[in-house]
């Protein structure tokens, strides 16, 4: 059958691809080394610059090195300011992609949440990428 909406085919492909990724996902163990220092009764959290450690022995060695030293010396401090641009309005495909990759939400759940947000007045109507329509559609 002919699809009336040109955005349906890529969206379906995206949904199938994401479903396949979810079905074949294998979780991988990782460790986080987090510590803190206290200066003038102000607790300052510290974390490993690479974030997650995927080797348990490496994480354990790092923890031993941290625990071995009672004193620390700061060798470098980097300060920076970042300006964030206002986010652009999402079209439906981009909204589905971001909800999947950042929130782990499936397309059906994402659209349900978007509909509730829209009917509650929190977001504008999600747009599609389509700007041309079939001649069969009475506009």
| Catalytic positions | 125
Token pair for 102: 């950042």
Q: Given CA atoms 110, 116, 121, 122 in this order, what sign does their dihedral have?
A: negative
Q: Residues 6 or more apart from 126 whose CB is under 8 A from it?
A: 90, 91, 92, 95, 114, 118
Residue closest to 34 by CA, chosen among 50, 55, 10: 50
Cα–Cα distance measured from residue 96 to residue 116, given in angstroms and rounded to the nearest whole number? 15
């Amino acid at each position: 059958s002919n699809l009336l909406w040109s955005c349906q085919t890529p969206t379906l492909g995206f949904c199938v691809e994401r479903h396949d990724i979810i079905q074949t996902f294998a979780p991988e163990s990782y460790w986080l080394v987090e510590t803190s220092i206290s200066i003038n009764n102000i607790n300052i959290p510290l974390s490993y610059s690479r974030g997650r450690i995927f080797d348990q022995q490496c994480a354990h060695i790092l923890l031993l090195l941290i625990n071995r030293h009672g004193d620390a010396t700061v060798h470098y401090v980097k300060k920076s300011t970042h300006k964030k641009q206002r986010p652009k309005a999402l079209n439906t495909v981009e909204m589905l992609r971001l909800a999947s990759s950042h929130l782990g939400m499936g397309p059906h759940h994402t659209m349900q949440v978007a509909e509730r947000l829209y009917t509650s007045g929190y977001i504008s109507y999600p747009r599609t990428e389509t700007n041309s329509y079939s001649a069969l559609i009475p506009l």
